[in-house]
Chain A
Amino acid sequence: MKFSRCTLRSVFTVCVLGSALLPLRAQVDVAAPGLPTVGVSLSGPLGGGATEIVSADLRRTGEMEPVGSSSGQYLATGVAGDSGITAQLVNKRNGQVIFNDTFTGPGRKSAHQFSDEITKAVTGLPGFATSRIAFISKASGSKELYVSDIDGFNVRQITHDNTISASPAFSHSGAKIAYSSYKSGYLDTYLIDVGSGSRTRIAFFPGINSGPAFSPDDSTIALTLSKDGNPEIYTISTSGSIENRITRTRGGETSPSWSPTGDRLVYSSDDHGAPQLYISSSSGVTDMDQLYTGNSYCTKPDWSPDGKSIAFTARVSGQFEIGSFDLASRQGHLVTTDGGEDPSWTRDSRHLVYSKNGRLYILDVVTHKSFPIELSVSSCGEPSVSR
Protein backbone atom coordinates (compact mmCIF):
# COMPACT_ATOMS: atom_id res chain seq x y z
CA MET A 1 0.00 0.00 0.00
CA LYS A 2 2.72 2.43 0.94
CA PHE A 3 4.41 2.36 -2.42
CA SER A 4 1.34 2.18 -4.55
CA ARG A 5 1.02 5.95 -4.82
CA CYS A 6 4.50 6.22 -6.26
CA THR A 7 3.86 3.28 -8.52
CA LEU A 8 0.64 4.73 -9.85
CA ARG A 9 2.20 8.04 -10.64
CA SER A 10 5.05 6.32 -12.43
CA VAL A 11 2.59 4.57 -14.71
CA PHE A 12 0.49 7.71 -15.00
CA THR A 13 3.47 9.88 -15.96
CA VAL A 14 4.64 7.48 -18.58
CA CYS A 15 1.19 7.26 -20.16
CA VAL A 16 0.59 11.00 -20.12
CA LEU A 17 3.96 11.83 -21.59
CA GLY A 18 3.60 9.13 -24.20
CA SER A 19 7.20 8.34 -23.44
CA ALA A 20 9.00 5.37 -24.88
CA LEU A 21 10.26 4.57 -21.40
CA LEU A 22 8.85 1.47 -19.84
CA PRO A 23 7.31 1.75 -16.39
CA LEU A 24 9.74 -0.31 -14.39
CA ARG A 25 7.87 -0.55 -11.10
CA ALA A 26 5.01 -2.88 -10.28
CA GLN A 27 1.80 -1.87 -11.96
CA VAL A 28 -1.59 -1.42 -10.34
CA ASP A 29 -4.53 -0.70 -12.61
CA VAL A 30 -6.19 2.18 -10.77
CA ALA A 31 -6.61 5.80 -11.86
CA ALA A 32 -3.75 7.98 -10.66
CA PRO A 33 -4.69 10.24 -7.73
CA GLY A 34 -3.62 13.86 -7.46
CA LEU A 35 -0.97 14.90 -4.99
CA PRO A 36 -2.06 15.24 -1.35
CA THR A 37 -2.27 18.93 -0.45
CA VAL A 38 -0.79 20.25 2.78
CA GLY A 39 -1.59 23.70 4.13
CA VAL A 40 1.52 25.07 5.81
CA SER A 41 1.29 27.95 8.27
CA LEU A 42 3.77 28.56 11.07
CA SER A 43 3.58 31.56 13.35
CA GLY A 44 5.94 32.96 15.98
CA PRO A 45 9.14 35.03 15.58
CA LEU A 46 10.57 32.72 12.89
CA GLY A 47 7.22 31.58 11.50
CA GLY A 48 7.51 33.18 8.07
CA GLY A 49 10.91 31.67 7.32
CA ALA A 50 9.90 28.28 8.69
CA THR A 51 6.75 28.26 6.53
CA GLU A 52 8.90 28.88 3.44
CA ILE A 53 11.40 26.17 4.37
CA VAL A 54 8.72 23.54 5.05
CA SER A 55 6.79 24.42 1.88
CA ALA A 56 9.93 24.08 -0.25
CA ASP A 57 10.83 20.79 1.46
CA LEU A 58 7.39 19.30 0.84
CA ARG A 59 7.35 20.40 -2.79
CA ARG A 60 10.83 18.89 -3.33
CA THR A 61 9.54 15.43 -2.35
CA GLY A 62 7.31 15.36 -5.44
CA GLU A 63 4.77 13.54 -3.25
CA MET A 64 2.85 16.51 -1.80
CA GLU A 65 1.64 19.92 -2.83
CA PRO A 66 2.06 22.66 -0.20
CA VAL A 67 -0.81 25.16 -0.28
CA GLY A 68 -2.07 28.18 1.68
CA SER A 69 -3.13 27.66 5.26
CA SER A 70 -6.88 27.77 4.63
CA SER A 71 -6.93 24.91 2.15
CA GLY A 72 -5.35 21.50 1.88
CA GLN A 73 -6.25 17.97 2.89
CA TYR A 74 -3.72 18.24 5.71
CA LEU A 75 -2.88 21.26 7.86
CA ALA A 76 0.62 21.79 9.24
CA THR A 77 0.66 24.51 11.89
CA GLY A 78 2.88 25.51 14.78
CA VAL A 79 5.10 28.11 16.37
CA ALA A 80 8.69 28.68 15.27
CA GLY A 81 11.13 30.44 17.58
CA ASP A 82 14.81 30.50 18.55
CA SER A 83 14.55 27.27 20.53
CA GLY A 84 12.88 25.31 17.72
CA ILE A 85 9.44 24.51 16.39
CA THR A 86 6.40 23.13 18.17
CA ALA A 87 4.03 21.97 15.51
CA GLN A 88 1.24 19.60 14.58
CA LEU A 89 -0.21 17.93 11.54
CA VAL A 90 -3.98 17.56 11.23
CA ASN A 91 -5.95 15.48 8.75
CA LYS A 92 -8.68 17.94 7.82
CA ARG A 93 -11.00 15.27 6.53
CA ASN A 94 -11.63 13.83 9.98
CA GLY A 95 -9.99 16.45 12.23
CA GLN A 96 -7.54 13.90 13.56
CA VAL A 97 -4.25 15.22 14.97
CA ILE A 98 -1.66 12.95 13.31
CA PHE A 99 1.23 14.21 15.45
CA ASN A 100 2.03 17.08 17.78
CA ASP A 101 5.73 17.41 18.35
CA THR A 102 8.63 19.70 19.17
CA PHE A 103 11.62 19.92 16.83
CA THR A 104 14.77 21.32 18.37
CA GLY A 105 17.35 21.09 15.59
CA PRO A 106 19.48 24.24 15.38
CA GLY A 107 18.63 26.96 12.83
CA ARG A 108 16.84 25.71 9.74
CA LYS A 109 17.15 22.09 10.85
CA SER A 110 14.05 22.21 13.09
CA ALA A 111 11.93 23.13 10.05
CA HIS A 112 13.53 20.29 8.03
CA GLN A 113 12.77 17.89 10.88
CA PHE A 114 9.12 18.99 10.80
CA SER A 115 9.10 18.47 7.00
CA ASP A 116 10.44 14.92 7.29
CA GLU A 117 7.82 14.09 9.94
CA ILE A 118 5.05 15.43 7.66
CA THR A 119 6.45 13.45 4.71
CA LYS A 120 6.51 10.23 6.70
CA ALA A 121 2.94 10.77 8.00
CA VAL A 122 1.39 11.74 4.66
CA THR A 123 3.27 9.50 2.21
CA GLY A 124 4.77 6.73 4.31
CA LEU A 125 8.11 7.48 2.64
CA PRO A 126 11.24 8.69 4.44
CA GLY A 127 11.74 12.43 3.95
CA PHE A 128 15.15 13.75 3.05
CA ALA A 129 14.82 17.40 4.09
CA THR A 130 17.33 16.81 6.92
CA SER A 131 19.88 15.21 4.56
CA ARG A 132 23.15 16.90 3.78
CA ILE A 133 25.44 16.72 0.78
CA ALA A 134 29.19 16.20 0.83
CA PHE A 135 30.79 17.46 -2.36
CA ILE A 136 33.98 18.79 -3.91
CA SER A 137 34.33 22.41 -5.00
CA LYS A 138 37.17 24.15 -6.75
CA ALA A 139 35.86 27.59 -5.73
CA SER A 140 38.93 28.35 -3.59
CA GLY A 141 41.29 27.49 -6.45
CA SER A 142 41.94 23.91 -5.39
CA LYS A 143 39.57 20.99 -4.96
CA GLU A 144 38.35 21.01 -1.35
CA LEU A 145 35.69 19.04 0.53
CA TYR A 146 32.46 20.85 1.50
CA VAL A 147 29.14 19.96 3.09
CA SER A 148 25.77 21.68 2.77
CA ASP A 149 22.15 21.02 3.58
CA ILE A 150 20.31 19.34 0.71
CA ASP A 151 18.47 22.61 -0.04
CA GLY A 152 21.83 24.30 -0.61
CA PHE A 153 21.96 26.24 2.66
CA ASN A 154 24.67 26.06 5.34
CA VAL A 155 27.62 25.48 3.01
CA ARG A 156 30.70 24.66 5.06
CA GLN A 157 34.25 24.12 3.79
CA ILE A 158 35.73 21.07 5.53
CA THR A 159 39.26 20.85 4.10
CA HIS A 160 41.77 23.65 3.48
CA ASP A 161 44.60 21.56 2.06
CA ASN A 162 45.47 23.30 -1.22
CA THR A 163 45.59 19.94 -2.92
CA ILE A 164 43.04 17.72 -4.69
CA SER A 165 40.29 16.32 -2.49
CA ALA A 166 38.07 13.74 -4.17
CA SER A 167 35.22 11.22 -4.04
CA PRO A 168 33.55 11.97 -0.68
CA ALA A 169 31.04 9.54 0.86
CA PHE A 170 28.77 10.25 3.81
CA SER A 171 28.45 7.53 6.42
CA HIS A 172 24.88 6.31 6.94
CA SER A 173 24.88 7.83 10.43
CA GLY A 174 25.83 11.17 8.89
CA ALA A 175 28.60 11.55 11.48
CA LYS A 176 31.55 10.79 9.21
CA ILE A 177 32.75 11.41 5.69
CA ALA A 178 35.27 9.19 3.94
CA TYR A 179 37.09 10.81 1.03
CA SER A 180 40.34 10.66 -0.90
CA SER A 181 43.06 13.30 -1.08
CA TYR A 182 46.55 13.91 -2.43
CA LYS A 183 47.47 15.59 0.87
CA SER A 184 50.44 13.22 1.36
CA GLY A 185 51.47 13.56 -2.28
CA TYR A 186 49.69 10.29 -3.02
CA LEU A 187 46.01 9.47 -3.41
CA ASP A 188 45.07 8.20 0.06
CA THR A 189 41.71 7.72 1.78
CA TYR A 190 40.79 9.61 4.94
CA LEU A 191 37.99 9.53 7.47
CA ILE A 192 36.66 12.84 8.82
CA ASP A 193 34.46 13.29 11.85
CA VAL A 194 32.00 15.91 10.58
CA GLY A 195 31.29 17.32 14.04
CA SER A 196 34.82 17.71 15.37
CA GLY A 197 36.64 17.94 12.05
CA SER A 198 39.21 15.39 13.23
CA ARG A 199 40.77 13.45 10.39
CA THR A 200 42.44 10.05 10.16
CA ARG A 201 44.29 8.62 7.17
CA ILE A 202 42.92 5.09 6.89
CA ALA A 203 44.20 3.72 3.55
CA PHE A 204 47.65 4.54 2.21
CA PHE A 205 48.85 1.45 0.42
CA PRO A 206 51.28 1.92 -2.47
CA GLY A 207 49.31 3.04 -5.53
CA ILE A 208 45.90 4.71 -5.40
CA ASN A 209 43.49 4.44 -2.46
CA SER A 210 40.27 6.03 -3.66
CA GLY A 211 36.49 6.05 -4.03
CA PRO A 212 35.42 4.95 -0.53
CA ALA A 213 31.85 3.79 0.27
CA PHE A 214 30.45 2.92 3.71
CA SER A 215 28.70 -0.40 4.31
CA PRO A 216 25.09 -0.07 5.57
CA ASP A 217 26.25 -0.51 9.20
CA ASP A 218 29.15 1.94 8.66
CA SER A 219 31.64 -0.67 9.94
CA THR A 220 33.34 -1.39 6.62
CA ILE A 221 34.52 0.69 3.69
CA ALA A 222 34.74 -0.53 0.10
CA LEU A 223 37.23 1.30 -2.13
CA THR A 224 39.70 1.00 -4.98
CA LEU A 225 43.27 -0.05 -4.15
CA SER A 226 45.95 -0.52 -6.81
CA LYS A 227 48.46 -2.12 -4.46
CA ASP A 228 48.44 -5.32 -6.54
CA GLY A 229 49.54 -3.56 -9.71
CA ASN A 230 46.19 -2.36 -11.05
CA PRO A 231 43.01 -0.92 -9.52
CA GLU A 232 40.89 -3.53 -7.70
CA ILE A 233 37.96 -3.32 -5.26
CA TYR A 234 38.69 -4.14 -1.63
CA THR A 235 36.86 -3.83 1.65
CA ILE A 236 38.68 -2.46 4.69
CA SER A 237 37.69 -1.73 8.28
CA THR A 238 37.24 1.89 9.29
CA SER A 239 40.64 1.64 10.95
CA GLY A 240 42.23 0.60 7.67
CA SER A 241 42.86 -3.13 7.91
CA ILE A 242 42.06 -5.16 4.82
CA GLU A 243 38.94 -7.28 5.16
CA ASN A 244 38.30 -8.71 1.70
CA ARG A 245 39.52 -8.47 -1.82
CA ILE A 246 36.48 -8.28 -4.12
CA THR A 247 37.86 -8.24 -7.68
CA ARG A 248 40.74 -9.87 -9.51
CA THR A 249 40.97 -8.67 -13.11
CA ARG A 250 43.49 -7.14 -15.49
CA GLY A 251 41.28 -4.06 -15.88
CA GLY A 252 40.48 -1.28 -13.44
CA GLU A 253 37.59 -1.43 -10.95
CA THR A 254 36.21 1.74 -9.39
CA SER A 255 33.35 3.38 -7.48
CA PRO A 256 31.94 0.56 -5.34
CA SER A 257 28.49 1.02 -3.80
CA TRP A 258 26.87 -1.34 -1.26
CA SER A 259 23.52 -3.09 -1.50
CA PRO A 260 21.26 -1.98 1.40
CA THR A 261 21.65 -5.45 2.93
CA GLY A 262 25.45 -5.18 2.77
CA ASP A 263 25.98 -8.56 1.12
CA ARG A 264 26.81 -7.24 -2.36
CA LEU A 265 28.70 -4.47 -4.09
CA VAL A 266 28.09 -2.82 -7.45
CA TYR A 267 31.06 -1.21 -9.15
CA SER A 268 32.49 -0.24 -12.52
CA SER A 269 35.06 -2.36 -14.39
CA ASP A 270 36.79 -1.85 -17.73
CA ASP A 271 38.19 -5.36 -17.83
CA HIS A 272 36.34 -6.09 -21.07
CA GLY A 273 36.90 -2.73 -22.81
CA ALA A 274 34.82 0.34 -22.00
CA PRO A 275 33.65 0.48 -18.36
CA GLN A 276 30.54 -1.50 -17.43
CA LEU A 277 28.70 -2.19 -14.17
CA TYR A 278 29.07 -5.43 -12.22
CA ILE A 279 27.75 -6.87 -8.98
CA SER A 280 29.82 -9.12 -6.71
CA SER A 281 29.54 -10.53 -3.22
CA SER A 282 31.06 -8.22 -0.59
CA SER A 283 32.77 -11.15 1.14
CA GLY A 284 35.46 -12.17 -1.34
CA VAL A 285 36.39 -12.69 -4.97
CA THR A 286 33.41 -14.29 -6.74
CA ASP A 287 31.93 -14.27 -10.21
CA MET A 288 31.14 -10.82 -11.57
CA ASP A 289 27.49 -10.37 -12.53
CA GLN A 290 27.38 -7.87 -15.38
CA LEU A 291 24.46 -5.44 -15.59
CA TYR A 292 23.52 -4.90 -19.22
CA THR A 293 22.35 -1.32 -19.02
CA GLY A 294 22.12 -0.72 -22.75
CA ASN A 295 24.95 1.83 -22.61
CA SER A 296 28.49 1.16 -23.76
CA TYR A 297 30.18 3.29 -21.09
CA CYS A 298 28.87 3.14 -17.51
CA THR A 299 30.59 4.35 -14.35
CA LYS A 300 29.91 5.58 -10.81
CA PRO A 301 27.00 3.34 -9.73
CA ASP A 302 24.93 4.13 -6.62
CA TRP A 303 22.61 1.47 -5.15
CA SER A 304 19.24 2.87 -4.04
CA PRO A 305 18.29 2.63 -0.33
CA ASP A 306 15.25 0.46 -1.21
CA GLY A 307 17.57 -1.95 -3.03
CA LYS A 308 15.59 -1.87 -6.26
CA SER A 309 17.64 0.38 -8.55
CA ILE A 310 21.19 1.29 -9.38
CA ALA A 311 21.85 4.80 -10.67
CA PHE A 312 24.95 5.36 -12.77
CA THR A 313 26.72 7.71 -15.15
CA ALA A 314 26.50 6.76 -18.82
CA ARG A 315 28.42 8.26 -21.67
CA VAL A 316 26.01 8.89 -24.56
CA SER A 317 27.16 10.57 -27.80
CA GLY A 318 30.10 12.18 -26.04
CA GLN A 319 28.00 13.52 -23.16
CA PHE A 320 27.34 12.18 -19.67
CA GLU A 321 23.79 11.26 -18.70
CA ILE A 322 22.33 9.69 -15.58
CA GLY A 323 20.92 6.21 -15.97
CA SER A 324 18.98 3.92 -13.69
CA PHE A 325 19.06 0.11 -13.79
CA ASP A 326 16.05 -1.75 -12.42
CA LEU A 327 17.22 -4.94 -10.71
CA ALA A 328 13.87 -6.78 -10.94
CA SER A 329 13.47 -6.41 -14.71
CA ARG A 330 17.24 -6.10 -15.29
CA GLN A 331 16.64 -3.17 -17.63
CA GLY A 332 18.34 0.19 -17.70
CA HIS A 333 17.05 3.54 -18.90
CA LEU A 334 18.29 7.11 -18.92
CA VAL A 335 16.73 9.54 -16.47
CA THR A 336 18.36 12.71 -17.81
CA THR A 337 18.45 14.01 -21.36
CA ASP A 338 20.56 17.17 -21.05
CA GLY A 339 23.57 15.92 -19.13
CA GLY A 340 24.58 14.84 -15.62
CA GLU A 341 27.09 12.72 -13.74
CA ASP A 342 27.92 11.22 -10.32
CA PRO A 343 24.36 10.45 -9.08
CA SER A 344 23.64 9.88 -5.38
CA TRP A 345 20.26 8.62 -4.12
CA THR A 346 18.21 10.31 -1.43
CA ARG A 347 16.52 8.32 1.37
CA ASP A 348 13.26 7.92 -0.52
CA SER A 349 14.95 6.13 -3.47
CA ARG A 350 13.10 8.57 -5.71
CA HIS A 351 15.52 11.49 -6.05
CA LEU A 352 19.08 11.74 -7.25
CA VAL A 353 21.55 14.51 -6.50
CA TYR A 354 24.06 14.81 -9.33
CA SER A 355 26.48 17.25 -10.91
CA LYS A 356 26.53 18.95 -14.29
CA ASN A 357 28.95 21.62 -15.48
CA GLY A 358 30.07 22.51 -11.96
CA ARG A 359 26.58 22.73 -10.45
CA LEU A 360 24.61 20.29 -8.32
CA TYR A 361 21.07 19.30 -9.20
CA ILE A 362 18.29 17.25 -7.66
CA LEU A 363 16.27 15.04 -9.97
CA ASP A 364 12.93 13.34 -9.37
CA VAL A 365 13.26 10.05 -11.25
CA VAL A 366 9.46 9.62 -11.37
CA THR A 367 8.60 12.97 -12.96
CA HIS A 368 12.06 13.41 -14.58
CA LYS A 369 12.02 17.00 -13.29
CA SER A 370 15.36 18.39 -12.21
CA PHE A 371 16.21 21.55 -10.26
CA PRO A 372 19.56 23.17 -9.50
CA ILE A 373 20.62 23.26 -5.87
CA GLU A 374 21.56 26.87 -5.23
CA LEU A 375 24.94 26.86 -3.49
CA SER A 376 27.13 29.75 -2.41
CA VAL A 377 30.16 28.10 -4.05
CA SER A 378 30.82 27.27 -7.69
CA SER A 379 32.74 24.53 -9.58
CA CYS A 380 31.08 21.68 -7.67
CA GLY A 381 31.11 17.94 -8.30
CA GLU A 382 31.12 14.41 -6.86
CA PRO A 383 28.09 14.84 -4.54
CA SER A 384 27.23 12.28 -1.86
CA VAL A 385 23.90 12.57 -0.01
CA SER A 386 23.66 11.54 3.64
CA ARG A 387 21.07 8.81 4.22
Chain B
Amino acid sequence: MNIPRLALLVALTLAVAACSDDKNNPNYGGMGPDGGALPGSDNGDKVGNGNDASGGIPPTRPADGMNPDKADYTTLSSDTVYFDFDKATINGDERTKLVAVSEWFKANPGHALFLAGHADKRGTPEYNRALGERRADAVREYLVGLGISADVLYATSYGSDRPAIDGDTEEAYAKNRRVEIGVVVKQ
Protein backbone atom coordinates (compact mmCIF):
# COMPACT_ATOMS: atom_id res chain seq x y z
CA MET B 1 0.00 0.00 0.00
CA ASN B 2 2.66 2.45 1.08
CA ILE B 3 5.16 1.52 -1.54
CA PRO B 4 3.02 2.39 -4.59
CA ARG B 5 2.07 5.66 -2.91
CA LEU B 6 5.72 6.49 -2.27
CA ALA B 7 6.58 5.58 -5.85
CA LEU B 8 3.80 7.85 -7.09
CA LEU B 9 5.08 10.67 -4.91
CA VAL B 10 8.61 10.19 -6.21
CA ALA B 11 7.36 10.09 -9.80
CA LEU B 12 5.34 13.25 -9.30
CA THR B 13 8.26 15.03 -7.68
CA LEU B 14 10.53 14.05 -10.54
CA ALA B 15 7.93 15.15 -13.08
CA VAL B 16 7.56 18.55 -11.43
CA ALA B 17 11.34 18.92 -11.24
CA ALA B 18 11.63 18.01 -14.90
CA CYS B 19 8.93 20.51 -15.86
CA SER B 20 10.50 23.38 -13.98
CA ASP B 21 13.86 22.42 -15.43
CA ASP B 22 12.49 22.49 -18.95
CA LYS B 23 10.86 25.83 -18.33
CA ASN B 24 14.16 27.33 -17.28
CA ASN B 25 16.11 25.69 -20.05
CA PRO B 26 14.15 25.92 -23.27
CA ASN B 27 15.86 24.01 -26.03
CA TYR B 28 16.25 26.73 -28.61
CA GLY B 29 19.36 25.23 -30.25
CA GLY B 30 20.97 26.28 -33.49
CA MET B 31 20.97 30.04 -33.08
CA GLY B 32 22.68 31.53 -36.10
CA PRO B 33 25.03 34.49 -36.02
CA ASP B 34 23.74 37.99 -36.52
CA GLY B 35 24.01 39.64 -39.90
CA GLY B 36 23.81 36.28 -41.63
CA ALA B 37 27.26 36.90 -43.10
CA LEU B 38 29.09 34.01 -41.50
CA PRO B 39 30.04 31.29 -43.90
CA GLY B 40 28.83 27.84 -43.01
CA SER B 41 26.21 27.20 -40.44
CA ASP B 42 25.75 25.98 -36.95
CA ASN B 43 25.46 22.26 -37.47
CA GLY B 44 23.42 21.86 -34.34
CA ASP B 45 24.32 20.90 -30.84
CA LYS B 46 25.45 17.36 -30.45
CA VAL B 47 23.74 15.47 -27.72
CA GLY B 48 25.90 15.01 -24.68
CA ASN B 49 26.46 11.75 -22.92
CA GLY B 50 25.12 12.49 -19.50
CA ASN B 51 26.41 16.01 -18.97
CA ASP B 52 23.99 18.52 -17.56
CA ALA B 53 21.98 20.47 -20.05
CA SER B 54 23.29 23.97 -20.44
CA GLY B 55 21.19 26.53 -18.62
CA GLY B 56 20.06 29.89 -19.82
CA ILE B 57 18.03 31.51 -22.55
CA PRO B 58 19.92 31.89 -25.84
CA PRO B 59 20.86 35.55 -26.34
CA THR B 60 19.92 37.75 -29.27
CA ARG B 61 21.49 40.82 -30.81
CA PRO B 62 19.35 43.77 -31.83
CA ALA B 63 19.34 45.67 -35.11
CA ASP B 64 22.51 47.68 -35.77
CA GLY B 65 20.95 50.97 -34.62
CA MET B 66 20.63 49.66 -31.07
CA ASN B 67 24.30 49.37 -30.18
CA PRO B 68 25.26 48.84 -26.52
CA ASP B 69 27.63 51.80 -26.82
CA LYS B 70 24.62 54.04 -27.50
CA ALA B 71 22.52 52.82 -24.57
CA ASP B 72 21.45 55.21 -21.78
CA TYR B 73 22.79 53.78 -18.54
CA THR B 74 21.66 56.71 -16.36
CA THR B 75 17.85 56.39 -16.43
CA LEU B 76 17.90 53.08 -14.53
CA SER B 77 21.25 53.57 -12.79
CA SER B 78 19.67 53.27 -9.34
CA ASP B 79 18.62 49.75 -10.32
CA THR B 80 22.14 48.49 -11.01
CA VAL B 81 22.26 44.94 -9.65
CA TYR B 82 25.23 44.00 -7.43
CA PHE B 83 26.70 40.54 -6.90
CA ASP B 84 28.81 38.60 -4.42
CA PHE B 85 32.42 37.75 -5.27
CA ASP B 86 32.70 35.14 -8.02
CA LYS B 87 28.90 34.64 -8.04
CA ALA B 88 26.28 35.15 -10.72
CA THR B 89 23.21 34.59 -8.58
CA ILE B 90 20.92 37.53 -7.83
CA ASN B 91 20.51 38.18 -4.11
CA GLY B 92 17.08 38.80 -2.60
CA ASP B 93 17.62 42.52 -2.00
CA GLU B 94 18.68 43.05 -5.58
CA ARG B 95 15.60 41.35 -6.99
CA THR B 96 13.38 44.22 -5.89
CA LYS B 97 15.37 46.45 -8.24
CA LEU B 98 14.47 44.19 -11.13
CA VAL B 99 10.82 44.35 -10.17
CA ALA B 100 11.16 48.14 -10.42
CA VAL B 101 12.88 47.76 -13.80
CA SER B 102 10.08 45.58 -15.10
CA GLU B 103 7.51 48.14 -13.93
CA TRP B 104 9.42 50.97 -15.61
CA PHE B 105 9.68 48.92 -18.76
CA LYS B 106 5.95 48.19 -18.88
CA ALA B 107 5.16 51.88 -18.26
CA ASN B 108 7.54 53.00 -21.03
CA PRO B 109 6.73 51.03 -24.16
CA GLY B 110 8.91 51.21 -27.24
CA HIS B 111 12.19 50.50 -25.47
CA ALA B 112 14.68 47.66 -25.20
CA LEU B 113 17.26 47.04 -22.49
CA PHE B 114 20.98 46.28 -22.58
CA LEU B 115 22.16 44.30 -19.57
CA ALA B 116 25.88 45.00 -19.14
CA GLY B 117 27.64 42.52 -16.87
CA HIS B 118 30.85 43.46 -15.03
CA ALA B 119 33.30 41.77 -12.68
CA ASP B 120 35.77 43.10 -10.13
CA LYS B 121 39.47 42.82 -10.99
CA ARG B 122 40.10 39.82 -8.73
CA GLY B 123 39.86 37.34 -11.57
CA THR B 124 41.83 36.72 -14.75
CA PRO B 125 40.59 38.88 -17.65
CA GLU B 126 39.08 36.09 -19.74
CA TYR B 127 37.39 34.44 -16.77
CA ASN B 128 35.91 37.81 -15.82
CA ARG B 129 34.40 38.23 -19.28
CA ALA B 130 32.50 34.98 -18.83
CA LEU B 131 31.55 35.89 -15.25
CA GLY B 132 30.12 39.25 -16.38
CA GLU B 133 28.20 37.47 -19.12
CA ARG B 134 26.73 34.99 -16.63
CA ARG B 135 25.61 37.86 -14.40
CA ALA B 136 23.97 39.62 -17.35
CA ASP B 137 22.33 36.34 -18.38
CA ALA B 138 21.00 35.88 -14.84
CA VAL B 139 19.43 39.35 -14.87
CA ARG B 140 17.96 38.69 -18.30
CA GLU B 141 16.37 35.45 -17.13
CA TYR B 142 14.97 37.14 -14.06
CA LEU B 143 13.40 39.92 -16.14
CA VAL B 144 11.94 37.31 -18.50
CA GLY B 145 10.44 35.70 -15.42
CA LEU B 146 8.85 39.07 -14.61
CA GLY B 147 7.14 39.09 -17.98
CA ILE B 148 9.51 40.99 -20.27
CA SER B 149 10.14 39.38 -23.66
CA ALA B 150 13.65 37.91 -24.06
CA ASP B 151 13.69 39.48 -27.53
CA VAL B 152 14.10 43.00 -26.11
CA LEU B 153 16.70 42.10 -23.47
CA TYR B 154 20.31 42.10 -24.71
CA ALA B 155 22.99 40.70 -22.40
CA THR B 156 26.59 41.79 -22.83
CA SER B 157 29.76 41.60 -20.72
CA TYR B 158 32.73 43.88 -20.18
CA GLY B 159 34.49 41.64 -17.67
CA SER B 160 36.71 43.78 -15.44
CA ASP B 161 37.58 46.23 -18.23
CA ARG B 162 35.08 48.95 -17.30
CA PRO B 163 35.08 49.33 -13.53
CA ALA B 164 32.59 51.73 -11.94
CA ILE B 165 35.25 52.67 -9.39
CA ASP B 166 39.01 52.33 -9.68
CA GLY B 167 40.86 51.03 -6.69
CA ASP B 168 41.81 47.97 -4.69
CA THR B 169 39.40 48.32 -1.79
CA GLU B 170 36.63 45.91 -0.89
CA GLU B 171 34.18 48.77 -1.42
CA ALA B 172 35.43 49.36 -4.98
CA TYR B 173 35.26 45.64 -5.74
CA ALA B 174 31.67 45.47 -4.46
CA LYS B 175 30.62 48.39 -6.68
CA ASN B 176 32.27 46.80 -9.71
CA ARG B 177 30.54 43.39 -9.46
CA ARG B 178 27.38 44.51 -11.21
CA VAL B 179 24.92 44.47 -14.06
CA GLU B 180 24.04 47.92 -15.38
CA ILE B 181 20.78 48.38 -17.20
CA GLY B 182 20.91 50.49 -20.35
CA VAL B 183 17.86 51.84 -22.14
CA VAL B 184 17.57 52.13 -25.92
CA VAL B 185 14.65 53.14 -28.10
CA LYS B 186 13.44 50.03 -29.87
CA GLN B 187 13.95 50.17 -33.62
Question: Taking beta carbons and an 8 Å cutoff, which residues of A are in contact with B?
Answer: 143, 164, 166-167, 182, 184-187, 202-208, 210-211, 224, 226-232, 237, 239-245, 247-255, 268, 270-271, 274-275, 284-288, 297, 299-300, 313, 315, 318, 320, 341-342, 381-382
Contact = CB atoms under 8 A, between A and B. Distances in A.
Contacts of A231: 130, 133-134
Contacts of B69: 185
B137 A241 contact: no
Interface residues of B, number: 54
Task: In the A-B complex, list the 7 residue pairs whose CB atoms are closest, starting with the nearest.
Answer: A229-B56, A241-B40, A252-B130, A206-B59, A231-B130, A250-B55, A185-B67
Contact of B45 (A182, A207, A245, A275): A245
A203 to B, nearest CB: 8
A342 B133 contact: no
Interface stretch (B11-19, B92-100, B102-110, B119-127): B119-127
Given A248-B53, A252-B133, A284-B46, A241 B126 contact: no
Contacts of A288: 51
Given A202-B38, A211-B129, A248-B54, 10 more contacts: A205-B33, A207-B58, A208-B157, A227-B59, A229-B54, A230-B55, A253-B130, A268-B127, A270-B131, A313-B124
A142 to B, nearest CB: 10
Contacts, number: 183
Contacts of A253: 130
A232 B92 CA distance: 27
Interface string B31-48: 111110011111101111
A320 to B, nearest CB: 7
A134 B48 CA distance: 35
A204 B40 contact: no
Contacts of B124: 255, 299-300, 313, 320, 341-342
A240 B40 contact: yes
Scoring A211, A227, A270 by chain B CB atoms within 10 A of each residue's CB, the highest score goes to A227
A5 to B, nearest CB: 34
Contacts of A382: 125-126
B58 A206 contact: yes
A145 B71 CA distance: 26
Given A206-B31, A208-B157, A252-B134, A275 B127 contact: yes
B130 A208 contact: yes
A213 to B, nearest CB: 11
Given A166-B125, A206-B31, A248-B51, A241 B130 contact: no
19 contacts: A164-B158, A166-B159, A186-B61, A187-B157, A202-B38, A205-B32, A210-B129, A211-B129, A224-B126, A240-B40, A245-B46, A248-B45, A248-B54, A252-B130, A252-B131, A254-B127, A270-B131, A285-B47, A288-B51
Given A244-B46, A248-B51, A255-B126, A226 B133 contact: yes
B57 interface: yes
A243 B130 CA distance: 21
A204 B38 contact: yes
A43 B176 CA distance: 57
A313 B128 CA distance: 13
B160 to A, nearest CB: 10
A110 to B, nearest CB: 35
B86 interface: yes
B161 interface: yes
A241 B43 CA distance: 9
Scoring A205, A206, A271 by chain B CB atoms within 10 A of each residue's CB, the highest score goes to A206
A240 B133 contact: no
Contacts of A275: 127
A286 B49 contact: yes
B56 A240 contact: no
Contact of B60 (A187, A206, A241): A206
B56 A228 contact: yes
Scoring B33, B43, B131, B157 by chain A CB atoms within 10 A of each residue's CB, the highest score goes to B33
Given A204-B35, A245-B45, A299-B127, A227 B58 contact: yes
Contacts of B45: 228, 245, 248
A334 B46 CA distance: 37
A284 B47 CA distance: 9
B51 A249 contact: yes
Given A206-B59, A211-B126, A230 B31 contact: no
A263 to B, nearest CB: 16
Contact of A230 (B35, B54, B156, B159): B54
Contacts of A207: 58-59, 133, 155
A241 B39 contact: yes
B52 interface: yes
Contacts of A182: 158
A228 B31 contact: yes
